[in-house]
Amino acid sequence: MGYISTIAVSGLQAASVKLANAANNIVNAESEGYVPTDTVQSPRNGGGVKVSLVERPDAVSPVSGLPNIDITEEIVDSAVAAQAYEASAAIVGVDKDLHEVLLDSIDGKDE
């Protein structure tokens, strides 16, 4: 796997974690004791991103005692994660195609 694909795969992983986190927050919106989390991305040495989960401040509603989760916000986060995943997957595909063209030209298999 090339350098570009390695970076894109880290994007795939980050988007996957973001989507899973949003889903987890949604399904636990009515669960007493659940502490909602957010994803935080930071640059990784050598390229790409690493992702962490952090507990939200004011995670529990003082009125209801339930997690302080905005379902609409979680759905938007899910859509953003899905688009980021698609974009990273497209980059992996383009990188693969470029490597194939390069190898074909080295082997003298130009079309």
Kindly list the distances between the CA atom of residue 30 and the CA atoms of 18, 38, 106, in Å, as whole numbers in the listed order.
Answer: 20, 17, 59
- Nearest 5°: the CA angle 27, 10, 90 is 95
Q: What is the pLDDT of residue 31?
A: 95
- Is the pLDDT higher at 3 or at 55? 55
Domain containing 88 equals 3-61+69-107
Higher pLDDT, 17 or 64: 17
Q: Give me the pLDDT at residue 97, please.
A: 84
Which own/partner pairs from 6-9 qualify as long-range (CB within 8 Å, at least 24 positions apart)?
6/47, 6/48, 7/47, 7/48, 7/91, 8/88, 8/89, 8/91, 8/92, 8/95, 9/48, 9/88, 9/92
Choose between 110 and 83: higher pLDDT.
Answer: 83
Domain count, the chain: 1
pLDDT at site 63: 87
Averaged pLDDT for residues 48-73: 93
What pLDDT was estimated at residue 96? 87
